[in-house]
Amino acid sequence: MVRRASSYLLVAVLALTLLATMAGAGAAPRLPDLPKPGVDTTAPDIGKYGGTFVTSTFSDPRTFNPIVSQDTVSGTVVEGITSALVDQNYVTGEMEPALAESWTLSRDGRTWTFTLRDKLVWSDGQPLTVDDVVFTLEAIFTPGVDGSLRDPLTFRGQRVQWRKLDGRRIQFQTPRDQPPVGLFLRLIAIPIVPKHKLADALGKGGAEFSRTWGLNVNARDMVSSGPFVFQSYTPGQRFILVRNTRYWKVDRNGQRLPYLTRYILQILPNQEASRLRFLAKETDAYEARPAEFAQLKQQERQGNFTVYDGPETFGRTFLVFNQNPAAVKPPKLAWFQDARFRRALAHAIDQNAIIQQVFAGRATLPTSEITVGNKLYYNANLRPYPYGIERAQQLLAEAGYRRGSDGFLRDAQGNVVEFTMITNSGNVDREAIGNLVRQDFTKLGIRVSFVPESFPSLVGKLTGTYNWEAIIIGFTGSLEPGTDARNIWLSSGDLHMWWPKQEKPATQWEAEIDRIFEQLPAELDQAKRKQMYFRFQEIVYENLPMLYFPYLKTQPAIRNTIGNVKLGLQGHTPGLPGWSVPATTTYFKGAYRP
Amino acid sequence: MLRYVARRVLNMVPLLFGVSLVSFLVIQLSPGDFLAEIRLNPVVSGDTVEQMRRNFGLDQPLHIQYLKWLWSILRFDFGYSFAYQVPVGWLIGTRLLNTLILNLAALVIAWMLAVPIGIRAATRQYSWSDNSLSMAAYLGISTPTFFSGLLLLFFAFRTGWLPIGGMTSLDHELLPVGARVLDVARHLIIPATVLGVGAAAGLMRQMRGNLLEVLRQDYVRTAKAKGLAERPVIYKHAVRNAINPLITIFGFEIGGLLSGSAILENVVGWPGLGQLILESVIRKDLYVVMASLMLGSVTLVLGNLIADILLAVADPRIRYD
């Protein structure tokens, strides 16, 4: 009898234990005050709490107002103190839930419904609800509010519609003939701002709102939904962020992120000072210049840091020829509009000389508009244009250009091929590239004069008078050119540099690019998007409206006491600044440093 | 004297008006404007840029813009910075004290070095000490400030005795008041030395030249013949006369106390006015540039006035009425 009872007891205990473990195994991490936190899956280690991460930036931020912020340094602060509805995984490029935990698409494909996580709070404890999201959207579209967040939410002049369903759900509807997928990508860029702190300012008008949360802000007025909270800013010297103890993300073990206690950015305008401070162990991270890579590698042990053979940036530098008939007259117009001419010149550029002499070997041969740093969409099937003066001369000959007895190249009508190349003075790299390229083209018999000029003058020519022939210039890039580079690639765009604001596409290939850029926002399937981007790069590669220069590599140097350093796709960092180190999961390996 | 000062102050008004007009025209008429940077940002559409232009008031005709600015200046409203969207007064105010501290320190160093060294060089003309000091002076005048700044930064890095640039250390806020002052003083050493020694070099040559000229005068020979000892001859009689031109220079230096040395500030990371102004000029942040130009003009004119007053005080031969 007793044995029976004890065996029943044993079975019961075993069963309960089994049930308990099964229940535990299936459950996601949860926090006492947040039922379904976001879980970070990219960080390799589980970190320890505590520590200060010190890094540097090259100029002061311009504002702390997330809606108005447009420059890089302000952007780094804003990223640290805000969250958006969705996020893009900086390693894989996939869309991830952020403030929104889930979303659905209506049957007609025009309406998205987002559901916010339950019990979200701001850093001061106030609840974060759809009211804040609606407030953010209203602020963006208020007249008088500066900033570029309006453009991602406007489709051909019509703005996206939104509707609050309840405290946790909001609905977005895109205009009738516009596919809604692009919305998704654009929502990443929209930081949600607190209504309870900013409603007063918005009530006073757009201009007043643009000035709120500026540099003269009182730290108590700023609340955060991001990993960090703003603590202080000393003009010209540094700004300090501290851990947000109410952040909505946890690590794989359910520990609330971030691990760091303080994140300090020193404002060091001078590259030399920045390097010296890093070597003196006063900062933990340094963005090295190409020529410093080799030397830094040798100092790794002594300085207790690692310098990474970093990913290439998304930015690209290129040479553009002016194909605008309103600005350039024949015969030059004929040369610049001739794709064979441009291809020949591409063969004549000695890219390796540029890589060695300008970038100390720290650059990769270019192919097309999307650089090799963009692991999601880079088209590796395209081979860089091989360097060959003979090949260039052959292509020119086929196109009707002949070299005269005086050594100068002439077109079929007998005009000497000559043009003026400009770039912005003060940019040492571009000036060096310009000189090398001028020498390359001279070997073909082309008369090139290369004239660096002031940046405002350059911009005036590019966007106002169009009075230029060839320009060497560059853009920084992003993961999704389909969203962020529309002004460049749409034939109607203001920055369609070689022939802006076309009424209808001037060539077949420009028409095809227009079609691709119209379809991209509609395409949900990642594989199909990739195909479209591949085709886009092929078109650019064949027709060369821009002749690309080598893609620049980065060489970030980071102290070994910092853990979870994982270099992702450059250009998108979920935490804080400079390149690719996510501060959300960064932790301090060394002895505790308060 | 009082009438003279009043007259000078009244003269300032048309002068400042002229300065503001010319500055405004020069900035506006040069190619490009503040929005040049953002026009090349692919994410921003042309329409948004146009709207920003309207928000900033840059689409109005030039004379309207100027008159609006003038009207607000008269009410001490310096406008808003385009780049930072904060009041210009606040922006300049945050850096003003830093530049003042730096320039004062440099002034003190410069004068405390230049005057005694200049006197010594003049009294021992062509001696070994004179020649080597002159050599040092030439080096000091010709070395660009950014170069000496970088050298000292590197020296600080190597030896660890001085902070590598900046104005305060990381935990400045947590220190008690006395330690905070010491902290800033430590950071002040490199930039003040660079500026001070550079200025001292020129001043020393001035002092030396003036004193030599005075020492050749008849009354000096008379004093020596009278039997006066060397020290009172030099300090009581000669230096007092030799220092006249230097007083004028001193006045000018007071006028320059608020002008930042942009290059040096950039090199050592001193958060001063010079950096701010240079950036604003490059970016064409209109109201910041105008305010700083007006500030510079006012202090310059006031400095001149102070120089003239000091001269009258020091030299009884000079009378203004």
Model confidence over A527-564: pLDDT tens digits? 888 999 999 999 999 999 999 999 998 888 888 888 87
Do the Cβ atoms of A457 and B153 come within 8 Å? no
**Nearest residue, CB atoms, B43 vs list A148, A264, A270:** A148
Q: CATH for A316-552, among 3.40.120.10, 3.30.499.10, 3.40.50.1110, 3.10.105.10?
A: 3.10.105.10
Q: What is the pLDDT of residues B215-251, one digit of tens each?
A: 888 888 888 888 888 887 788 788 888 888 888 888 8
CA distance A264 to chain B (A): 9
Spell out which residues of chain B touch residue A369, defining contact as CB-CB under 8 Å: none
Question: CATH topology for A219-312+554-588?
Answer: D-Maltodextrin-Binding Protein; domain 2 (3.40.190)
Distance from CA of A442 to the nearest CA of B (A): 30
**pLDDT at position B109, please?**
93
Q: pLDDT > 90: what percent of chain A?
A: 45
Task: Write out chain A residues lying below 8 Å of B42, CB-based.
Answer: 475, 484-488, 495
Which of A237, A238, A272 is nearest residue B153 as measured by Cβ atoms? A272
The reported pLDDT for the residue numbered A92 is: 67
Residue A385: DSSP 8-state: P
Q: CA–CA separation, B3 vs A575, rounded Å?
A: 64
* Confidence at A181, pLDDT banded by 50, 70, 90: low
Which residue of B36, B55, B157 is in closest CB contact with A459?
B36
A456–B157 C-beta distance less than 8 A:
no
User: In this predicted model, what pLDDT tens digit does every residue of A476-526 receive, in sequence order?
Assistant: 887 788 877 888 999 988 889 999 999 999 999 999 999 998 888 767 677
Cα of B85 to nearest chain A Cα, Å: 5
Per residue in A55-102, pLDDT tens?
888 888 989 999 988 887 888 888 889 988 888 776 666 778 889 998
Contacts of A495 in chain B (CB under 8 A): 40, 42
Q: Is A316 a residue whose pLDDT tops 60? A: yes
Contact A372, A551 (CB under 8 A): yes
**B18 CA to chain A: closest CA distance, Å?**
26
Kindly state whether A159 is in contact with chain B, defined as any CB-CB distance less than 8 angstroms: no
Q: Give chain A's mean pLDDT.
A: 85
Kindly report, residue by residue over A376-404, the tens digit of the pLDDT: 889 999 999 999 999 999 999 999 999 98
Q: If you average pLDDT over residues A159-171, what whole number do you get?
A: 89
**Do the Cβ atoms of B85 and A264 come within 8 Å?**
no
> Does residue A460 sit at the B interface (CB-CB below 8 Å)?
yes
| pLDDT for B37 beyond 50 | yes
Distance (Å, whole) CA A235 – CA A212: 17
**A422 reaches B (C-beta below 8 A):** no
Pairwise CA distance, residues A250 & A259, whole Å: 10
Return the CATH class of domain A10-36+77-211: alpha beta
Full 3-state SS string of chain B:
CHHHHHHHHHHHHHHHHHHHHHHHHHHHHCCCCCCHHHHCCCCCCHHHHHHHHHHCCCCCCHHHHHHHHHHHHHCCCCCECCCCCCEHHHHHHHHHHHHHHHHHHHHHHHHHHHHHHHHHHHHCCCCHHHHHHHHHHHHHHHCCHHHHHHHHHHHHHHHCCCCCCCCCCCCHHHCCHHHHHHHHHHHHHHHHHHHHHHHHHHHHHHHHHHHHHHHCCHHHHHHHHHCCCHHHHHHHHHHHHHCHHHHHHHHHHHHCCCCCCHHHHHHHCCCCHHHHHHHHHHHCCHHHHHHHHHHHHHHHHHHHHHHHHHHHHHCCCCCCC
User: How many Cβ contacts (< 8 angstroms) between chains A and B?
Assistant: 146
User: Cis ω on the peptide bond leading into residue A258 (within 30° of 0)?
Assistant: yes
Tokens of A92: 């894989």
Q: How far is B129 from chain A (nearest CA, A)?
A: 36
Contact yes or no for A112/A103 (Cβ under 8 A)? yes
Tell me, yes or no, if A569 comes closer than 8 A to chain B by beta carbon.
no
Q: Tell me: the pLDDT tens digits for A562-571?
A: 887 776 655 3
CA-CA distance, A471 to A318, in Å (whole number)? 8
Residue among B252, B253, B272 nearest B263 (CA)? B272
Backbone angles phi, psi at A111, to 5 degrees: -120, 125
Give mean pLDDT, residues A319-348.
Answer: 94
* pTM for the predicted model, two decimal places: 0.84
- Cβ–Cβ below 8 Å for A485 and B42: yes
List the single residue in B with minimal CA-CA distance to A150: B48
Using CA atoms, how far apart are residues A90 and A95, in angstroms rounded to an integer?
10
A495 vs B40: CB contact, 8 Å cut-off? yes
Q: Where are the domains of chain A?
A: 10-36+77-211, 219-312+554-588, 316-552
Chain B nearest CA to A91, separation (Å) = 23
In percent, the amount of chain A with pLDDT more than 70 equals 87
Segment (H or E) for B24? helix B2-29
List chain B residues with CB under 8 Å of A211. Answer: 80, 85-86
Mean pLDDT confidence for A323-327: 92
Q: Distance (Å) from the C-alpha of residue B149 to the closest C-alpha of chain A?
A: 10
> What is the mean pLDDT of the segment spanning A124-139?
93
Of B39, B43, B269, which is closest to A459 when you measure between CB atoms? B39
Q: Length of chain A in residues, anyone? A: 594
- DSSP letter for each residue of B267-312: HHT---HHHHHHHHHHHT-HHHHHHHHHHHHHHHHHHHHHHHHHHH
User: Region A200-220: what's the mean pLDDT?
Assistant: 90
**Tokens in use for A185?**
């990508």
| Amino acid letter, residue A471 | I
**Lookup: tokens for A307:** 């310098």
Q: How far is CA A321 from CA A201, A296, A328, A389, B41, in A?
A: 47, 39, 10, 20, 19
Contact call for B36 and A462, based on CB within 8 A: no
Q: Rounded to an integer, what distance in angstroms lies between the CA atom of residue A277 and that of residue A303?
A: 11
pLDDT in tens, A297-313: 999 999 999 988 878 88
Q: For residue A411, give both structure tokens.
A: 């077109």
List the structure tokens of B258. 């608020």
Say yes or no: A273 contacts chain B, CB-CB below 8 A: yes
Q: Over 70: is that where the pLDDT of B147 sits?
A: yes
Q: Answer yes or no: is pLDDT of A317 > 50.
A: yes
Q: Which residues of B touch A210 (CB under 8 A)?
A: 55, 85
What is the amino acid identity at position A465? T
Mean pLDDT of B293-308: 88
Residues of A with Cβ-Cβ distance to B166 under 8 angstroms: 237, 266, 268
Beta bridge partners of residue A154, listed in sequence order: A159
ipTM over 0.95: no
**Closest residue on chain B to A270 (Cα):** B267
On average, the pLDDT of chain B sits at: 87
Nearest CA in chain A to B264: A270
- A344: pLDDT strictly greater than 90: yes
Kindly state the average pLDDT of the residues B74-95: 89
Q: Tell me the per-residue pLDDT of A187-199, one tens digit each, with 9 for 90 and over.
A: 767 889 999 999 9
Contact criterion met (CB below 8 Å) for A570 and A31: no
pLDDT value at B10 more than 60: yes
Provide the edge-to-edge strand list for the sheet that holds A305-307: A285-288, A555-559, A305-307
CA dist B138 and B202 (Å) reads: 8
Which chain A residues are closer than 8 Å to B154 by Cβ?
276
Neighbour count for residue B309 (Cβ, 10 Å): 17
Amino acid (1-letter code) at residue A467:
N
Residues 210..229 of A with a Cβ closer than 8 Å to B: which?
210-211, 214-216
The DSSP code sequence of A387-416 is P-HHHHHHHHHHTT-EE-TTS-EE-TT--B
